[in-house]
Chain A
Amino acid sequence: MLNYIWFGMMAISVIAGIFTGNIEAVTEAAINMAKVAVEISIGLIGIMALWLGIMKIAEASGLIRIIARGLNPITVRLFPDVPEDHPAIGSIVLNMAANMLGLGNAATPLGLKAMEELQELNPKKDTATNSMVMFLAINTSSVQLIVPATVVALMGATASQIFLTTILATLASTIAAIVMVKILEKMKRFSVEDAS
């Protein structure tokens, strides 16, 4: 699917760019964003190292296992192909906790740690497992319990009004994500053998 979407986005961009007269801006954006992508990745090194180091301590002290066990009833249903006491569950739970609290900086390293541990269980290394897709979908639907600081800064006093609406909307999108993953993972076109 990503093959078509990725190519489609670029092809549509070039065609639309020609018709709207923005073709130079399209070229500039392509070159500029390639640079931005590297800057973002390099910028992640420090924060990644910090949280991965702290996570290693949490793991060595058995904290991750304790947390994972506490949320077992939920995680076995969402990630049935991950063994109950696997470290991936601990990382997944911590990533979600960080997301809920709006700690984006901590959430990404924890999420990538979880992906690494899920990859250990993956028999086909270039293809996402059901658990990986579930984890990703929950992440992209953003389980957030506080209004982001940027939004608070922008909205001022009105920010408190959108507190409840944000939680309800995020809840709706997370439920939709979980249901969609469960439905789609059974479809042949998305199966491990056939999907792209």
Chain B
Amino acid sequence: MIEFMVGGMNAAAKYIIPLLLVGIPLYALSVKKVKVYEVFVEGAKDGFTIAVRIIPYLVAILVAVGMFRASGALDLLLNLLAPVLNLIGFPPENLPLALMRPLSGSGSLGLLTDLVNEYGAESMYAKIGATMFGSSETTFYVLAVYFGSVGITRSRHALAAGLTADAVGALAAVFFCKLLLG
């Protein structure tokens, strides 16, 4: 049943983008007589300005994240947090991924690959890791890109809320994997 659903959704996902690319102009052209080519070009012009506007924000965030990752500070944090998390049944093997997930997409994918190679895809560590990876986003990157694109520097409670959600997501991944797959 679940295999069927996953297969079905992944198969459907393949068709969504081409359908949107054709379906939206089709509706606009046939129902509303929109000049689709002209309007497309008009909208597409913004692509360049927005992408360029993000640069300084992304440089600021990615440099800090990159330094943090390279410094080994994550390992220090790991040693600090491991005993506490052990108490609530959070496997220490999954902690690096949980800490990396909000910082770096490629970094956390690398850690997930390590888990699969080390313990096998059938292992609880890999299942928890994959759940964590799939259920969360790269918070720092999203913040830099989304706020950067409109020039927002005062982010207020965004980071606090985002990181709390990441922590809840990581704990939920452990909880549901142990409950349903254990």
Chain A interface residues (CB < 8 Å from chain B): 1-2, 5-6, 9-10, 12-14, 16-17, 20, 22-23, 25-26, 28-30, 32-34, 36-38, 40-42, 44-50, 52-63, 101-103, 105-106, 108-109, 111-112, 115-116, 118-119, 125-128, 132-133, 135-137, 139-142, 144-152, 154-170, 172-174, 176-177, 180-181, 184-185, 187, 190-192, 195-196
Contact = CB atoms under 8 A, between A and B. Distances in A.
B56 to A, nearest CB: 9
Given A60-B34, A115-B147, A177-B161, 10 more contacts: A9-B65, A20-B72, A22-B70, A37-B55, A54-B21, A54-B25, A142-B169, A154-B113, A168-B172, A195-B154
A111 B147 CA distance: 10
Interface in B125-139: 126-127, 130-139
A181 B161 contact: yes
Interface of B: 2-3, 5-7, 9-10, 13, 16-17, 20-21, 24-25, 27-28, 31-32, 34, 36, 39-48, 50-52, 54-55, 58-73, 75-76, 102, 109, 112-113, 116, 121-122, 126-127, 130-139, 142-143, 145-147, 149-162, 164-166, 168-169, 172-173, 176-177, 180-181
A167 B161 CA distance: 20
A106 B17 contact: yes
Nearest to B30: A61
B65 A141 contact: no
A140 B135 CA distance: 10
Nearest to A190: B157
Contacts of B60: 6
A3 to B, nearest CB: 9
A155 B131 CA distance: 11
B28 A177 contact: no
Nearest to A49: B47
Contacts of A158: 121-122, 126-127, 130
A60 B39 contact: yes
Nearest to B168: A176
Nearest to B67: A13
Given A63-B27, A136-B142, A29 B69 contact: yes
Contacts of B70: 13, 17, 22, 25-26, 28-29
A111 B13 contact: no
